[in-house]
Amino acid sequence: MTSRSLGHRAPLLWLVLPLIAGIVAGRYGPPAHPGGLLAAALVATLLAGLAAWRAPRWWALPIGAALLLAGDASYTLRRARLAAWEQLPPREARLVLRVDRVFPQADAKKSAGLATVVRAEAHLPELAGQRVYFSLGLRPGEPAPVRSMVLAAIGVLSPLPENPPVNTFDAYLADAGMNFRLARGRVLAVEQPPTRYREFCERLARRLNAILSAGVAAKRPELAAVYRAMLLGQKHELSTEQDQLFMHSGTMHLFAINGLHIGVVAMAVHALLLLARCPRPVVAVLTLLVLWLDVDTTGASPSAVRAWLLVAACEAAFALRLPANGIAALAAAALVVLLASPLALFSASFQMSYGVVLAILCFGLPLAERLAARFPPWPDLPEVTWAWWQRWSARALRWFWPVLGIGLAAWLVGAVTGAVFYRVFTPGGLVANLVLVPLAILVIVAGFASISLGLAGLTAASVLLNHAAVVVLVVIDALIRLGQRVPGVWWPAEWHAPWLGMVTLAALLTVMLAGYARGWRSWSRGFWPPFAVVALALVFGMKLG
């Protein structure tokens, strides 16, 4: 039997893996001068070219060495941290900032986000070009900062720790390349208004918020907040109870702009364009344009941008009529992200999203295919003789195996990373996601259709779809609350040492890649190695309760 999920090649992995090793060495290894590392990488690249000409079997070794050295150098250059900053006390500073990203706030009198320093005071010249986190108080009637806006601000400038704990907000900022935060600040002047495109995105975001709130916000405000979180990424509207409920059930990823949201919207747009009989290149371009507008309007979170890059790789293959190859698309997207932002490797969203996708491609789909072949429905009866209930049960089984394989792959990664970033272990997350992911897809499809009809002026149809989505959310909320009553569905958890979680995740993904390369035969027959890695880690490396 020919396998549809095995046997794919991903040559870019030979670049991605040594690049990852180099970035890790840059963070945890001994310090080295980036100029020397880049010079050595250039020499290794020349050796690779020579080997490709004289000794073709050996060219991969110098290429791997070149990427490893370049990754080490890129970490140091991107972190751009001076030793003198370690002892710098908090001080008042006036900075001119270009706003790169704004974090939605529940309090309209506050604003926070990420910005690049355009100018600094004369005694802080090294801050120019640095990215900082800002937290500003807004006066009554003062507009909130918008992306691309250049503003002068004053506040308390303090350095971030060089290596903060992995499950803190400081760690998120450090992994985004931040060295400083500007807190308790206020805007002095707006030196440059936002661009017309950013103003358009802001207006569109407000319009989408109004469309998704129509007819439901007043009746079920708590579920309308969940609805907007799933479609617009407005997680700040979720209550503390909802945050804890979703985290303890292992379903927090359903209520954010991430791979599930981007994937569902991409498939919907792609299918509609195909039904309209558009040429392949037009389908790919229009799908990516609509999807990017969705990503950018909802805040362009790193996880959404990474999901967009993955879809872009798949759409490029579709337009060029290349065979579908998820692992190659994943490797291409990861390479682009790491070249542009090496520090993203240490972020929770990168490790969880790319780790889950890799696990699904290398482990989940092959497992589902193997189970379908091993347990065919009604094997002793010809299909033409099946009764109606046998046909329906066979369809249900064919649907169940992929869902089970994908759910197991995601749960294995989540079991490792959940304790690292959220200090929680959710055994019940597997069952919860098997049940709730299809329901969440229905909500996202209804929301996308509601937005499309609302923008077209069909308000009544849009409101009807909003009500349908909220009905599904009522079911989701009830199932999550019911599941939380079951003993043992979640446990407080943490690793004995922070590095154990990262090492376990690396071992898990390595075993999955090795098993995939072997076709899940020989020593990996039965798909047992990933389960063994996670079980050993849970027994010997994790503290529960």
Residue 186 pLDDT grade (very low, low, confident, very high; cuts 50, 70, 90):
very high
Average pLDDT over residues 443-460: 91
- Residue 152: predicted pLDDT: 93
Verify that 71 and 130 share a domain, yes or no: no
pTM here?
Answer: 0.87
Verify that 36 and 107 share a domain, yes or no: no
**Residue 465 in domain:** no
Residue 454 pLDDT grade (very low, low, confident, very high; cuts 50, 70, 90):
very high
- Integer Cα distance of 288 and 183 in angstroms: 37
Which among 158, 173, 194 is the end of a domain?
Answer: 194
**Residue 211 in domain:** no
Given a cut of 60, whether residue 2 has pLDDT beyond it is: no
Residue 85 pLDDT grade (very low, low, confident, very high; cuts 50, 70, 90):
confident
Given a cut of 60, whether residue 1 has pLDDT beyond it is: no
**Residue 473 in domain:** no
Range of the domain at 159: 85-194
- Residue 324: predicted pLDDT: 74
**Residue 544 in domain:** no
Given a cut of 80, whether residue 52 has pLDDT beyond it is: no
Which among 61, 79, 97 is the end of a domain?
Answer: 79
- Integer Cα distance of 142 and 475 in angstroms: 41
Is the pLDDT higher at 163 or at 355?
Answer: 355
Verify that 290 and 309 share a domain, yes or no: yes
Is the pLDDT higher at 234 or at 456?
Answer: 456
**Residue 490 in domain:** no
Given a cut of 80, whether residue 233 has pLDDT beyond it is: no
- Integer Cα distance of 104 and 515 in angstroms: 42
- Residue 257: predicted pLDDT: 63
Verify that 63 and 146 share a domain, yes or no: no
pLDDT in tens, 86-131: 777 888 889 999 999 888 877 778 899 999 999 988 888 888 888 8
Verify that 111 and 35 share a domain, yes or no: no
Residue 462 pLDDT grade (very low, low, confident, very high; cuts 50, 70, 90):
very high
Q: How many CB atoms lie within 10 A of CB 296?
A: 19
Given a cut of 70, whether residue 379 has pLDDT beyond it is: yes
**Count of domains in the chain?**
3
Q: Which of 227, 299, 209, 243 is nearest to 443 (CA)?
A: 227
Q: What angle do CA 170, 176, 179 make, to 5 degrees?
A: 60
Q: Which of 159, 296, 251 is nearest to 439 (CA)?
A: 251
Given a cut of 80, whether residue 179 has pLDDT beyond it is: yes
Q: What is the CATH number of the domain that holds 120?
A: 2.40.50
- Residue 10: predicted pLDDT: 85
Verify that 182 and 92 share a domain, yes or no: yes
Provide the token pair at 329: 């698309």
Verify that 183 and 116 share a domain, yes or no: yes
321-to-273, 275, 281, 284 alpha-carbon distances in Å = 17, 18, 10, 11
Given a cut of 60, whether residue 21 has pLDDT beyond it is: yes
Q: Which of 471, 466, 479 is nearest to 428 (CA)?
A: 479
Q: Which of 101, 94, 128, 103 is nearest to 115 (CA)?
A: 101
Verify that 54 and 108 share a domain, yes or no: no
Average pLDDT over residues 385-403: 89
**Residue 280 in domain:** yes
Verify that 53 and 153 share a domain, yes or no: no
Average pLDDT over residues 265-276: 89
**Residue 492 in domain:** no
Given a cut of 80, whether residue 256 has pLDDT beyond it is: no
Contact between 488 and 507 under an 8 Å Cβ cutoff? The reply is no
- The DSSP H or E segment spanning 87 is none
Contact between 113 and 101 under an 8 Å Cβ cutoff? The reply is yes
Given a cut of 60, whether residue 164 has pLDDT beyond it is: yes
Residue 422 pLDDT grade (very low, low, confident, very high; cuts 50, 70, 90):
confident
Verify that 90 and 189 share a domain, yes or no: yes
Given a cut of 60, whether residue 515 has pLDDT beyond it is: yes
Which among 292, 320, 341 is the end of a domain?
Answer: 341
Given a cut of 90, whether residue 510 has pLDDT beyond it is: yes
Verify that 174 and 269 share a domain, yes or no: no
Averaged confidence pLDDT in the chain: 87
**Residue 185 in domain:** yes
Verify that 52 and 109 share a domain, yes or no: no
Residue 506 pLDDT grade (very low, low, confident, very high; cuts 50, 70, 90):
very high
Average pLDDT over residues 460-489: 91
